Amino acid sequence: MLVNGSKPKLVFISPVFLFPNDAGGKIRSTNILRGLKGGAFHVTLLSAATPEQARRWSKEIAGVCDEFVPWQPAPHRPMWRRAFDLLGSLPVNVANDRTRPGMDAVRQLAQRPDVDLMVFDFVHSAVLRPATLRMRSTCFTHNVEAEIFARHAKQARGPHKRWLWGSQHTKMAQFEGDALRSFDSVIAVSERDARFFKDAYQVAESYAIPTGVDLDFFSYQDPPAVDAATPPTVVFTGSMDWAANIDGIQFFLGQVWPKVLAARPEARFVIVGRNPPASLQALARTTANVEFTGFVDDVRTYVHKAHAFVIPLLVGGGTRIKAFEAMAMGCPVVSTAIGIEGLDADKDVHYLERDDPAAMADAVLQLLADGALRDGLARRARQLVEERFGHEKAARVFEDICLRTLALPAATEAA
């Protein structure tokens, strides 16, 4: 409720605590919130967080919101409960976010008379939404979630896995469409996703924001030379407990990396990201020169030391912010088409795109061998993100969509 010219109050609802920024969605949401603070809205962040998390990350929290309201995270769901969730009507990952503390926290804030707009981060968080809202609401979608499940089903080996992923796709398509239609607007991370929501789900108010990168934090360095002190190095960054990243690294280790080693046996592959599964570590032991770092506080050191940044994804949705982060830092990118999907960059100008294992290996080897190619891709890519994809620009577009949503004639009731 606007009073005496005060700023409208925006509540940003995240089903997961945003810190540390160890996943693409957390990074994107944090950048948006950082850009919103001090702008047109008074920002409240409503999120799952333990008291210890709130204390440890208090400085970072203060940098993204004017008010922080935590709810106590639910205990980790046991495996038997996850298996039981497979029989329910909701996708498993949505059921996992449906917690009583989260639902109560959202309902209590929704009853505050001073709240003007609620932003639900990821479509999964719609499961926390009350049946009716008096204020406007929007959903910030980072992916077309149903598309991710469909791609998993296509890639799955064996009839049981195909059935499992196919079943989750059907449930997610139903949930995602119903949920997004219940909001006054939807904010997507690419024009491609925004069009999909309009065409497939009949979402009338569907808008896109650019992928934003913190250009000061991810500062540019020229790619290093390959010499005795710096062996040819390939890097990947990403949460290694996310299924799409696991599938992509399995593909790269099994079908691409052996071809790279055959030509450059001294080459190193560094995989930076939390919780690499035992299956991937076992696969790495069947080849050579592969390092898993696990979680690191700062990926920049690893990226700045690398000669090529690979995104070998076969499954995914939305956009990969890691691609623009690598470009900002001056590390040339080799990606599959899905890995770079939704990002407005030109292949062979700003990055190399290869889907075939042999072609991807050849592209990596080209970058390891050709310093001029590395430098040219790196400089053109950095110029691109400087001109069009700074995180402040993304936040301004996000803010404008929120203001337009606030100006709509009536809030939409949830289905």
Q: Which domains does the chain have, with CATH numbers?
A: 9-212+391-406 (3.40.50.2000), 233-388 (3.40.50.2000)
Task: State the pLDDT at residue 242.
Answer: 86
Task: State the pLDDT at residue 81.
Answer: 65
Packing angle, helices 243-251 and 145-155, rounded to 10: 40
Q: Which residues pair with 294 in a beta bridge?
A: 272
Q: Does 298 have pLDDT greater than 60?
A: yes
Neighbours of 85 (CB within 10 A): 18
**What is the sign of the dihedral through the CA atoms of 265, 237, 93 and 58?**
positive
pLDDT digits (tens, 9 = 90+) for 357-392: 999 999 999 999 999 999 999 999 999 999 988 888
pLDDT digits (tens, 9 = 90+) for 178-188: 999 999 999 99
Query: For a pLDDT cut of 90, what percent of the chain falls above it?
Result: 75
**Whole-angstrom Cα distance, residue 308 to residue 185?**
39
Q: Does 170 have pLDDT greater than 80?
A: yes
Q: How many residues does the chain have?
A: 415
Tell me which residue has tokens 């479509």. 123
Instruction: Classify 123 as helix, strand or coil.
Output: helix
pLDDT digits (tens, 9 = 90+) for 43-81: 999 999 999 999 999 999 999 999 999 999 987 766 666
Q: Does 4 have pLDDT greater than 50?
A: no
Reported pTM: 0.77
pLDDT digits (tens, 9 = 90+) for 211-263: 888 898 899 999 999 988 889 999 999 999 988 899 999 999 999 999 999 99
Task: State the pLDDT at residue 411.
Answer: 46
Q: Which residues pair with 140 in a beta bridge?
A: 121, 187
pLDDT digits (tens, 9 = 90+) for 282-294: 999 999 999 999 9
Q: Does 165 have pLDDT greater than 80?
A: yes
Query: For a pLDDT cut of 70, what percent of the chain falls above it?
Result: 94
Average pLDDT estimate for 134-162: 91
Task: State the pLDDT at residue 197.
Answer: 97
* Dihedral, 149, 152, 154, 159 alpha carbons, nearest 10: -100
pLDDT digits (tens, 9 = 90+) for 315-326: 876 557 899 999
Taking CA atoms, 215 is separated from 10, 85, 324, 376, 404, in Å, by 26, 41, 10, 19, 28
Element (H, E) at 333: strand 333-335
Task: State the pLDDT at residue 319.
Answer: 59
Q: What is the DSSP string of 343-409?
A: ----BTTTBEE--SHHHHHHHHHHHHH-HHHHHHHHHHHHHHHHHH-BHHHHHHHHHHHHHHHHTSS
CA atoms within 13 A on the CB side of 116: 19
- Is 322 within 8 Å of 23 (Cβ atoms)? no
Phi, psi of 213 (to 5 degrees): -125, 140
pLDDT band, very low/low/confident/very high, at 115 (cuts 50, 70, 90): very high
Phi, psi of 319 (to 5 degrees): -135, 155
Lowest mean pLDDT among 149-153, 172-176, 269-273: 149-153
